[in-house]
Amino acid sequence: MKRWIPWTIGIIAVLLVGGLAARSMKARQLENAAAAASAKVPLQLELSAADVVTAHPVELTRTLSVSGGLKAVNTAVVKAKVAAEVKSLSVREGDTVKAGQVIGQLDTTEFDWRLRQAEQTADSAKAQLDIARRAVENNQALVKQGFISSTGMETSVSNEAAARANYQAAAAAVALAKKSRGDSVLVAPIAGIVSQRLAQPGERVAVDAKIIEVVDLSRIELEAAVAPEDVVEVQIGQSARLDIDGLREPAKATVARINPSTQAGTRAVMVYLALQSNPALRQGLFARGQIDLQHGRALAVPISAVRVDQAKPYVLMVVNGHVSQRTVTLGARGDASIDGKTEHVVEIVEGLADNATILRGSTGNVRDGTPVKLVGPAPVPAARAPAA
């Protein structure tokens, strides 16, 4: 075999490997250049109409958040006026009662004997009074005839007065015994529904022991604690909307009363909101909502559109197809109609102009300068407030 053949084959192999390496390096350089070019061009964020809102002056209703428990305006607790054993109770929790209805009876055995004793004592005192009265009549005749002195007559008159006083005291004791026996009957003081039955037949109760609680659900109020700095804007007659546990729709209410005193410790002022009649309302349910304080025209955006993750609050605007961060000054908070729905909004005092397109909070964190594109129908402008 000739010597130049192996050398020729080796040189050809080296050239092939070098060519392949150069080709691979060139392809990698092209890929890196394409990646760098694509990195310089940021991705475009697509937004739907639900992701943006157009800022317009709206009819802003300033509100005050309140919460608390529901209470019936009229409640009554039937207590034992005398110490006795519970003989019977005809009602239980959930039963409806009328005012004056007999709902229970205490044992009257002891009171019957006391009444009988008082009546017999009164009969004895009346007999003594009759004797003293006849003695006075007889002595009056004897004094005229001179058989007894005037001193004896005065003694008879005094005895008759003492007998009369004893009889009157005995008659009062009879009345007290009758009242005690009458107090053994348990009567509902108001119409309503029995909420608690605190005693059972056969149980002996003391004076003023609670037996039955009756609640009138025809009038329900929310008892809310309001801070002193906020209560100055609350006025009787202002309307409110309350979300109540168990109710799907918000309940309407009106400020009915404002307590003139503050609560010890918290210094809060109790405000009472009267709710419209609703068979689903129950005493003790928890409610939260807002009192409508004032109405006015202001440039406002949904509270969720305001970002507060930096030192100052800001919003994200869409300007010339790009996201632009704008610092804003916030004002009053309240409710307003945005895109046909009532939302919690905040007034923008400074930093935002009319007709600005704002990103809602549902878009998440978006960097300043990100290109955006609106997909779908254009956003519905927020409802403008009527001109003043």
Facing residues of 72 across strands? 220
Cα distances (angstroms) measured from residue 185 to each of 87, 89, 144: 10, 10, 57
CATH of domain 66-72+216-293: 2.40.30.170
Strands 322-327, 329-338: parallel, antiparallel or unpaired by DSSP?
unpaired
Rounded Cα–Cα distance for residues 152 and 144 (Å) = 12
Evaluate whether 66-72+216-293 and 82-194 have a shared fold: no
Strand ranges (E), 80-184? 84-89, 96-97, 102-106
**What are the structural domain ranges in the chain?**
45-62+295-374, 66-72+216-293, 82-194
User: How many other β-carbons are positioned within 10 Å of the β-carbon of residue 336?
Assistant: 26
Q: What angle do CA 144, 146, 148 make, to 5 degrees?
A: 100
Q: pTM of the predicted model, to two decimals?
A: 0.60
The Cα–Cα gap between 211 and 103 comes to: 10
Q: Provide the token pair at 146.
A: 């001179």
pLDDT tens track, the chain, 388 positions: 456 566 666 667 666 666 666 677 777 777 766 555 554 545 678 788 788 888 888 887 778 889 999 999 999 999 999 999 999 999 999 999 999 999 999 999 999 999 999 999 999 999 998 888 888 777 777 766 766 766 777 788 888 889 899 999 999 999 999 999 999 999 999 999 999 999 999 999 999 999 999 999 999 999 999 998 888 889 999 999 899 988 888 899 999 999 999 988 888 999 999 998 888 888 999 999 989 887 778 888 888 889 888 888 999 888 888 888 889 988 877 777 777 777 788 888 888 888 888 888 888 888 888 888 877 655 544 444 443 3
What is the CATH architecture assignment of 45-62+295-374? Beta Barrel (2.40)
Q: By the 8 A CB rule, do 283 and 50 touch? A: no
Longest dimension (CA), the chain: 194
Fold of 82-194: Helix Hairpins (1.10.287)
Per the CB < 8 A criterion, the answer to whether 83 and 206 are in contact is yes
Q: What are phi and psi of 340, to 5 degrees?
A: 80, 5
